[in-house]
């Protein structure tokens, strides 16, 4: 009976991880600037974008972000392993908080939510179950790096965008005098935008390690084999492609319709800046929020162009961003404590 | 203005069609202004001839049709809507000009005195300058928005000068010592107000060009 339950739980977790990969694709808006600029036909853009995100997810499944979230955040006291109920709790808690955020109309970070949930679960486990000293429950160095990266990455995005825009303005954009020249230059930027968006999509896929982290957690506690992990990672990549192709199209089309006036040069700078940040974070195995980076890149662009920035709206968003980590943690803690009460550890 | 054949128009870009259209409308404006000057000089035949030219000429329709079919299929990326709006604003000048010409042809007025004639000519001089400047500004949109912006600033300044003269003229019209025919009063009042309307539209247009300059130019 216990074995059957464990088997069902593993299947549920794998299914949820695949579902999470689908939702990563479904929530991706990176292609909007590409579609808005009319660079490619809509379906082709979806196919290429979906392929890039899936490729990024699969190529970087062997370590990097999935390893940080699925293994390296845990300290020696926990033997660097999650139990399956821990993983289940982390997923449930993240989903609940993200759904609440969606109903409140606030874009929340799935990464922050997931890491917050992990922290909450481990604290509860250490105190009530494992008798683990909290000093050894976490890999504090890694946790510190991850949390620091959440602050550094958006600010770096803002700065890179600002510098890139100022540089391109000084040496190219400000030298374009007439509408004909501007149009011609923007036509060239269209193709650069295509490259930047696909490049960004690869790193979005690579950095969105939530789904693979669950699978990696299962691999580490020997619920699945290494071979199965690779197979499921490929399936996750395919599902992130399907997420973009079947679900993200509505958001992309909607956002793209508001971006008709956006210049491809601006889109290129924003996408390239966010891709650079995502790439660096991924190579350092740090899970960061793509949406936070993009929002700050747009702010960087607005500051560089001396446009108005909605600091009030940003402040409200910032509060929810900061609250995500502790709230997801508390929520996960309560859920895991509840499961513990029924003997599911 | 000569007629254009389809092949000739096909070769022109969106920008070139806009410039051609503006040239066409500017030429009609200048004809109309000249026509009003003939009216002031009481050369009614030439007045009628010039104003009928404005009403009858339809070479701009050819250009407009070509522009509309081209912009619809155009691969211009982000200035498409602005280019269309720009073109429509030029077209509105034609509409106002035609309306003005038709109204003026309803009657052949004799101006009350020489001062009145002089004042009207001052206004017409400003209108001519505004129309020519606007045409030059439109020509520069494709190549030098910054210069176009500066020219539009001059247009706005000229419109300010012109407006003062218009109010002086209207003031004289309402407070004239002798009574004139009600038709004369109405005609002159409408003439001044219609010229004001045309000049105001041109000023709005120049402000739109300045908006485009601000929108598209990037300063380091």
Distance in Å, alpha carbon of A303 to nearest chain B alpha carbon: 13
pLDDT, tens digit (0-9, with 9 covering 90-100), for B14-50: 999 999 999 999 999 999 999 999 999 999 999 999 9
- B219 — contact with chain A (CB < 8 Å)? yes
Confidence tier at B2 by pLDDT (50, 70, 90): low
pLDDT, tens digit (0-9, with 9 covering 90-100), for A92-134: 998 888 788 777 766 678 889 999 999 999 999 888 876 778 8
The DSSP line for chain B is -----HHHHHTS-HHHHHHHHHHHHHHHHHHHHHHHHHHHTT-HHHHHHHHHHHHH--HHHHHHHHHHHHHHH----SSHHHHHHHHHHHHHHHHHHHHHHHHHTT-----S-HHHHHHHHHHHHHHHHHHHHHHHHHHHHTT-HHHHHHHHHHHHHHHHHHHHHHHHHHHHHHT-SS---HHHHHHHHHHHHHHHHHHHHHHHHHHHHHHHHHHH----
Contact across the interface for A179 and B15, Cβ inside 8 Å? yes
For chain A, the helix, strand and coil percentages under 3-state DSSP, each to the nearest 5: 80, 0, 20
pLDDT given for residue A33 in this prediction:
84
Distance in Å, alpha carbon of B204 to nearest chain A alpha carbon: 20
- A305 — contact with chain B (CB < 8 Å)? yes
pLDDT, tens digit (0-9, with 9 covering 90-100), for B128-165: 999 999 999 999 999 999 999 999 999 999 999 999 99
The pLDDT tens digits along chain A (345 residues) read 667 778 898 999 999 999 889 988 888 888 888 888 878 889 999 999 999 999 999 999 988 999 998 888 888 887 767 888 899 999 999 888 878 877 776 667 888 999 999 999 999 988 887 677 888 888 999 999 999 999 999 999 999 999 999 999 999 998 999 999 998 998 899 999 999 999 999 999 999 888 899 999 999 888 899 999 999 999 999 999 999 999 888 878 877 777 766 788 999 999 999 999 999 999 999 999 988 898 899 899 999 988 888 888 888 888 888 888 999 999 999 999 998 888 877
Nearest to B216 among A37, A182, A260 (CB): A182
Distance in Å, alpha carbon of B5 to nearest chain A alpha carbon: 25
d(CA A49, CA A55): 10
pLDDT, tens digit (0-9, with 9 covering 90-100), for B185-201: 999 999 999 999 999 99
pLDDT given for residue B1 in this prediction:
59
pLDDT given for residue A1 in this prediction:
62
Asked if A28 and A244 touch (Cβ cutoff 8 Å), the reply is yes
- A267 — contact with chain B (CB < 8 Å)? no
Contact across the interface for B79 and A183, Cβ inside 8 Å? yes
Asked if A249 and A29 touch (Cβ cutoff 8 Å), the reply is no
- B77 — contact with chain A (CB < 8 Å)? yes
The structure's pTM equals 0.84
Contact across the interface for B216 and A37, Cβ inside 8 Å? no
Given the cut 0.85, state whether the ipTM is greater than it: no
Nearest to A260 among B78, B217, B220 (CB): B78
Closest listed residue to residue B101, CA positions, set B190, B186, B189: B190
Asked if A30 and A204 touch (Cβ cutoff 8 Å), the reply is yes
Q: Which residues pair with A74 in a beta bridge?
A: A138
A77: enclosing H helix or E strand: none
Asked if A172 and A185 touch (Cβ cutoff 8 Å), the reply is yes
Contact across the interface for B219 and A174, Cβ inside 8 Å? yes
Residues of A within 8 A of B139 (CB-CB) are none
d(CA A87, CA A216): 10
Please state the separation of Cα B151 from the chain's center in Å.
15
- When pLDDT is averaged across residues B61-83 and rounded to a whole number, the result is 85
CA separation (Å) from B125 to A14, B46, B129? 81, 18, 6
Distance in Å, alpha carbon of A37 to nearest chain B alpha carbon: 7
* CA dihedral sign of residues A160, A164, A167, A173: negative
Residues of A within 8 A of B208 (CB-CB) are none
d(CA B210, CA B213): 5
Q: Searching chain B, which residue's CA lies closest to the CA of residue A259?
A: B78
Q: Searching chain A, which residue's CA lies closest to the CA of residue B76?
A: A183
Contact across the interface for A183 and B76, Cβ inside 8 Å? yes
């Amino acid at each position: 009976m216990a074995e059957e339950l464990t088997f069902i739980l593993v299947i549920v977790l794998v299914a949820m991880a695949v579902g999470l990969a689908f939702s990563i694709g479904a929530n991706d808006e990176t292609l909007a600037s590409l579609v808005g600029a009319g660079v490619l036909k809509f379906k082709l853009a979806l196919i290429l974008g979906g392929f890039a995100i899936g490729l990024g997810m699969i190529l970087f499944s062997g370590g990097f972000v999935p390893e940080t979230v699925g293994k390296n955040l845990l300290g020696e006291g926990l033997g660097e392993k999650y139990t399956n109920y821990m993983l289940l709790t982390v997923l449930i808690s993240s989903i609940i908080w993200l759904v609440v955020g969606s109903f409140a109309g606030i874009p929340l970070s799935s990464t922050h939510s997931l890491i917050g949930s992990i922290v909450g679960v481990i604290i509860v486990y250490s105190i009530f179950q494992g008798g683990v000293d909290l000093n050894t429950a976490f890999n504090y160095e890694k946790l510190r790096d991850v949390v620091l990266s959440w602050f550094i990455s958006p600010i770096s995005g803002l700065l890179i965008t600002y510098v890139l825009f100022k540089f391109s303005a000084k040496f190219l954009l400000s030298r374009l005098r007439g509408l004909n020249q501007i149009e011609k230059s923007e036509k060239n930027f269209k193709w650069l935008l295509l490259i930047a968006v696909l490049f960004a999509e690869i790193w979005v896929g690579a950095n969105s390690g939530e789904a693979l982290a669950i699978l990696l957690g299962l691999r580490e506690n020997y619920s699945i084999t290494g071979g199965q992990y690779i197979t499921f990672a490929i399936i996750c990549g395919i599902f992130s492609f399907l997420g973009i192709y079947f679900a993200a199209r509505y958001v992309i089309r909607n956002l793209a319709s508001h971006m008709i006036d956006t210049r491809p040069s601006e889109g290129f700078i924003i996408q390239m800046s966010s891709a650079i940040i995502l790439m660096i974070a991924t190579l350092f195995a740090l899970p960061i929020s793509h949406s936070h980076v993009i929002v700050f890149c747009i702010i960087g662009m607005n500051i560089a162009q001396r446009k108005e920035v909605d600091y009030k709206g940003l402040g409200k968003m910032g509060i929810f961003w900061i609250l995500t980590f502790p709230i997801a943690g508390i929520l996960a803690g309560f859920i895991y404590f509840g499961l513990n009460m029924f003997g599911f550890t | 203005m000569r007629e254009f054949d389809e092949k000739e128009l096909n070769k022109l870009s969106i920008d070139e069609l806009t410039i051609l259209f503006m040239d066409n409308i500017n030429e009609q404006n200048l004809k109309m202004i000249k026509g009003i000057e003939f009216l002031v000089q009481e050369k009614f035949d030439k007045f009628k001839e010039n104003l009928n030219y404005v009403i009858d000429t339809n070479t701009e329709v050819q250009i407009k049709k070509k522009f509309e079919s081209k912009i619809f299929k155009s691969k211009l990326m982000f200035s498409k809507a602005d280019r269309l709006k720009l073109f429509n604003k030029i077209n509105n000048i034609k509409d106002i000009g035609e309306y003005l010409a038709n109204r003026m042809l309803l009657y052949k007025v004799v101006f009350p005195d020489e001062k009145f004639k002089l004042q009207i000519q001052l206004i017409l001089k400003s209108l001519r300058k505004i129309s020519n400047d606007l045409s030059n500004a439109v020509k520069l949109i494709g190549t030098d928005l910054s210069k176009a912006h500066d020219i539009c600033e001059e247009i706005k300044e000229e419109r300010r000068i012109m407006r003062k003269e218009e109010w002086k003229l209207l003031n004289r019209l309402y407070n004239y010592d002798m009574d004139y025919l009600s038709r004369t009063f109405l005609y002159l009042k409408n003439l001044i107000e219609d010229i004001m309307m045309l000049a105001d539209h041109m000023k709005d247009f120049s402000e739109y060009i300045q908006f485009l300059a601000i929108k598209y130019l990037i300063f380091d």
